[in-house]
Amino acid sequence: MLPGSIQISGETLSGAEIRDICESLRENSVRLLSLRGCQLSERDFGHVCRGVAESRSLAQLNLNLGIVSNINRVKQLAEALKTNRSVQSLFLHGSPLTDAGLALLNPALSIHPSLVALDLGDCMLGDEGINLICGLLPPDGAKSGLKELTLSANPGITSKGWGRLAIAVAHSSQLRVLNLDYNPLGDQVAGMLAVAVASSRTLEVLDLEGTGLTNQSAQTLLDMVENYPTALRTLILAENNISPELQQQISDLLSEGEEEEETEAHEVTTREKNPWICQNNSSSQMVLVTSGLGDSLLAETEM
């Protein structure tokens, strides 16, 4: 029997329900566990963490909206993740981690062999937290790193912290999705991010919704998309003080780039199926196009 999912939202969980969840985890019958916004006792939270540690099937763990509500719970989760080897996606959106909590969690995150998606949105992080997160974006592919990172709504991070992140993104060998929506970034940080995107070989999605950008940022991003080859496919600029015309220009250019790569990929496939077709241009390059994280990550992304 294939592992299934347990998804509960906003409920107060009884001891009996927790026992059932833990038994399913130990039996490796759960691939997705979401306890979004649920209420459970300290003891029961510890039981869930022990179940997570023992599970070999769990791929996505959603503890959004205040489940990890204190330092003791952070410690228990960190211990569970040190033992667990299967979790690919960890969602902690809306947890009051602070930099101190992330410092306790970070050693487990940095050595986890399977983790590729991390949501730390609205976790009260600051610049020290950013320094830890940058360590999860290795620059040379020597070790595994994050492919998807969410840092939405962390207003305590300063421009210095965002600059540090931009450098890490520019050199990351794996990051493909970066969500920074609802942070007060402004045009200065957007300029740094534009340089990072232009340098990155992997970043496909950048969410800058509601980040205090103006036409100045949009023009910089437009110049980047127009003049530099990037992997970027989606740039979200809603709820900023940016003209619809500039947003449309950027969208059109990104769409053109995607269509060109699809055409090139089709030509590569045709040549592979029909090796007798001559190539007129001896310097032509084969372009391999990936389909995004949908194939490797689970579809459930609610916060």
Same domain? 130 vs 247? yes
| Beta-strand runs (E) in the chain | 4-7, 30-34, 60-62, 89-91, 117-119, 148-150, 177-179, 205-207, 234-236
Q: Who's near 85: CB < 8 A, 6+ residues apart?
A: 56, 112, 113, 114
Q: Is residue 273 situated within a structural domain?
A: no
Q: Is residue 76 situated within a structural domain?
A: yes
**Is the pLDDT assigned to residue 152 strictly greater than 80?**
yes
Residue type for position 226: E
Among 13, 61, 80, which residue's Cα sits nearest to residue 298? 61
**Is the pLDDT assigned to residue 155 strictly greater than 50?**
yes
pLDDT in the model for residue 3: 75
pLDDT in the model for residue 19: 97
More confident residue, 303 or 193: 193
Domain CATH number, residue 239 = 3.80.10.10
pTM over 0.75: yes
Averaged pLDDT score across all residues of the chain = 87
Same domain? 147 vs 109? no
Quote the tokens at residue 200. Answer: 């990155």
Least confident of 79-83, 107-111, 231-235, 259-263: 259-263
**Is the pLDDT assigned to residue 277 strictly greater than 50?**
no
Same domain? 151 vs 239? yes
Name the residue range of residue 238's domain.
125-261
| Beta-strand runs (E) in 50-202 | 60-62, 89-91, 117-119, 148-150, 177-179
pLDDT in the model for residue 2: 61
Same domain? 192 vs 225? yes
pLDDT in the model for residue 261: 53
Q: Who's near 200: CB < 8 A, 6+ residues apart?
A: 169, 170, 172, 175, 230, 231
Strands 177-179 vs 205-207: parallel, antiparallel or unpaired: parallel
Q: Give residue 256's pLDDT band: very low, low, confident or very high (50, 70, 90).
A: confident
Least confident of 156-170, 230-244, 249-263: 249-263
Residue pair 197/206 in contact by the 8 Å Cβ criterion: yes
pLDDT digit string, tens, across residues 12-30: 999 999 999 999 999 999 9
pLDDT digit string, tens, across residues 33-61: 999 999 999 999 999 999 999 999 999 99
Q: What is the dihedral of CA 115, 93, 170, 81, to 10 degrees?
A: -20
Same domain? 64 vs 141? no
Q: Give residue 260's pLDDT band: very low, low, confident or very high (50, 70, 90).
A: low
Same domain? 28 vs 48? yes
- Give the number of domains in the chain: 2
CA–CA distance, 82 with 248 (Å, rounded to integer): 46
Q: How far is CA 122 from CA 10, 189, 219, 264, in A?
A: 18, 19, 29, 40
